[in-house]
């Protein structure tokens, strides 16, 4: 059933193709990523994709001398403002990583000139990503959590994920499994999440030291790559990430609020989405962060949940997803909310051809493809509940944040149902590989008329047998 591989152009061609579809939009004035003088016009080209103005991600060839790299940068009136070499890159034998080049030329022009330089392997925009949401547990017993229901559960909904049927078989405990949330941060003190907050086993809380040697101090619950600090929850604006967390692992059976697909699970955060969205550069750091945690600490990390999109093709991000694949980590991604066919429109990161990607469309409680959901017969894998999904959010006011709940819609809401299902399957099939978990999820999909010819499986998530 895999749709991955064989249908994509060369990285160089894709980088330029993605740019031709991009939005030439400037960042907000207070965006720390924006160059001192934004020279590009605030215009929107076909496709509506945004990127950081005045910045290009560059991968130099390993054989290129430093003088040649400097020459290539000078040709575009640029300077290297950051070199990203994650621990996982080094572990894979890559000591040079990627460079963020700030230029006074228009990004499209700079990329074309860099790609013509023999010292450059590829050059691409630093895409800006956004969330993919439209804005005895009481929400279960009153029927609100339709996305957890199944045909034979009570309450019942044939178009739900079937998670409640698995609960009925005693399959609620995923406490030996980690899920990485690449998103906004999430409210670690929420009454329905606090018991499921995961911890980095190599870090000691509050000692001000980088105990595990990954370059990040006190990353006990994860890391904020947008703010470059250990705070994975920054208040009311982290509602999207908190909502995602509740669908994966809201504490079940506690008589409070909601229940996630997994009642007990370990949730870790790699926050890269802030008030202005998130960049490709920080997405790469987030993906590699979890890969490093698994490969060095051996944590049982089954998947990352990725409810974001809006950028074009990035070879650098695809490479990071490939490193996660080599570590046995699934990359579960939202199809996007533009109501477009991903066979002909850009739907990254969902349409990357890596074997570990599961791309998720959204369906309604009546089984229809959600009106906003992207789709693709060979690019999007499966549908899952994504319309009118109730989950955890921060409430109250900035100085008095409380545990609250809200109903959101989006492929962002569909994706964590699948992420939770992956954790549930791993919990009760501990020897399963990432490929086997993906095969189980896609192979158990229930045929659905609205998804026939629109997703690879032609069906929706069915976790009832997990």
Task: Return the sign of the alpha-carbon dihedral for residues 25, 29, 33, 36.
Answer: positive
Using DSSP bridges, classify how beta strands 78-84 and 98-103 pair: parallel, antiparallel or unpaired.
Answer: antiparallel
Q: Which of 227, 230, 228 is nearest to 217 (CA)?
A: 230
Query: Is 450 considered catalytic here?
Result: no
Is there a contact between 317 and 284 (Cβ–Cβ < 8 Å)?
A: yes
| Residue 357 contacts residue 304 (beta carbons within 8 Å) | no
Concatenate the DSSP letters of all residues of 325-351 into one string. HHTT-EEEEE--SS--BTTTS--BTTT
The answer to whether the beta carbons of residues 164 and 149 sit under 8 Å apart is yes
Looking up tokens 């990725």 gives: 306
Of 158, 335, 181, nearest in space to 260 by CA: 181
Cα–chain-centroid distance for residue 305? 5
Residue with tokens 């994920």: 161
The single-letter DSSP state of residue 146 is G
Quote the strand ranges of 211-297, DSSP E: 222-224, 264-271, 278-279
- What distance in Å separates the CA atoms of residue 268 and residue 290, rounded to the nearest whole number? 9
183 labelled catalytic:
yes
Q: Torsion-angle region of residue 206: left (phi > 0), alpha (psi -120 to 50) or beta?
A: left
Note if 412 is an active site residue: yes
Task: Say which of 3, 171, 240, 243 is annotated catalytic.
Answer: 240
Catalytic: which of 31, 183, 192, 239? 183
> CA-based angle 306:310:311, to the nearest 5?
100
Q: Which of 99, 412, 419, 444 is catalytic?
A: 412
Judged by DSSP in three states, 60 sits in strand
Sequence-distant (6+) residues with CB within 8 A of 11 are 122, 313, 315, 318
Looking at the annotation, which residues are catalytic? 183, 240, 412
């Amino acid at each position: 059933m895999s749709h991955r591989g064989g249908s994509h152009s060369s990285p160089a061609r894709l980088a330029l193709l993605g740019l031709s579809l991009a939005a030439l939009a400037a960042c907000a004035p207070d965006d720390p990523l924006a160059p001192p003088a934004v020279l590009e016009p605030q215009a929107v080209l076909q496709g509506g994709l945004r990127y950081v103005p005045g910045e290009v991600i560059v991968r130099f060839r390993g054989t290129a001398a430093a003088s040649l790299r400097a020459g290539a940068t000078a040709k575009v009136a640029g300077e290297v403002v950051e070199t990203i070499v994650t621990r996982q890159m080094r572990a894979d034998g890559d000591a040079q990583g990627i460079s963020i080049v700030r230029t006074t030329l228009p990004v499209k022009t700079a990329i074309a000139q860099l790609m013509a330089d023999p010292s450059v392997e590829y050059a691409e925009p630093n895409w800006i990503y956004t969330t993919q949401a439209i804005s005895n547990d009481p929400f279960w017993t009153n029927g609100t959590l339709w996305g957890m229901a199944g045909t034979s559960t009570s309450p019942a909904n044939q178009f739900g994920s079937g998670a409640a049927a698995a609960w009925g078989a005693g399959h609620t405990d995923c406490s030996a499994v980690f899920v990485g949330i690449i998103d906004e941060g999430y409210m670690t003190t929420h009454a329905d999440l606090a018991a499921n907050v995961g911890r980095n086993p190599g870090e000691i809380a509050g000692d001000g030291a980088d105990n595990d040697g990954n370059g990040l101090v006190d990353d006990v619950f994860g890391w904020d790559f947008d703010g470059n600090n250990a705070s994975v929850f920054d208040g009311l604006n982290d509602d999207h990430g908190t909502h995602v967390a509740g669908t994966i692992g809201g504490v079940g059976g506690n008589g409070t609020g909601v229940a996630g697909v997994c009642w007990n699970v370990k949730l870790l955060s790699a926050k890269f989405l802030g008030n202005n969205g998130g960049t490709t550069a920080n997405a790469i750091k987030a993906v590699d962060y979890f890969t490093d945690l698994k490969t060095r600490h051996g944590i049982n990390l089954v998947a990352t949940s990725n409810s974001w999109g809006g950028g074009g093709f990035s070879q650098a991000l695809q490479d990071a997803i490939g490193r996660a694949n080599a570590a046995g980590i699934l990359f579960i991604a939202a199809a996007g909310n533009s109501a477009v066919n991903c066979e002909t429109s850009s739907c990254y990161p969902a349409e990357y051809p890596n074997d570990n990607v599961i791309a998720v469309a959204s369906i309604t409680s009546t089984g229809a493809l959600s009106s906003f959901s992207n789709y693709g017969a060979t690019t999007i894998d499966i549908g899952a509940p994504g319309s009118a999904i109730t989950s955890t959010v921060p409430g109250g006011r900035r100085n008095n944040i409380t545990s609250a709940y809200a109903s959101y819609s989006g492929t962002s809401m569909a994706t964590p149902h699948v992420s939770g299902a992956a954790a549930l399957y791993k919990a009760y099939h501990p020897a399963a590989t990432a490929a086997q978990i993906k095969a189980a999820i896609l192979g158990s999909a229930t045929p659905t008329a609205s998804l026939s010819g629109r997703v690879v499986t032609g069906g929706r998530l069915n976790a009832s047998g997990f």
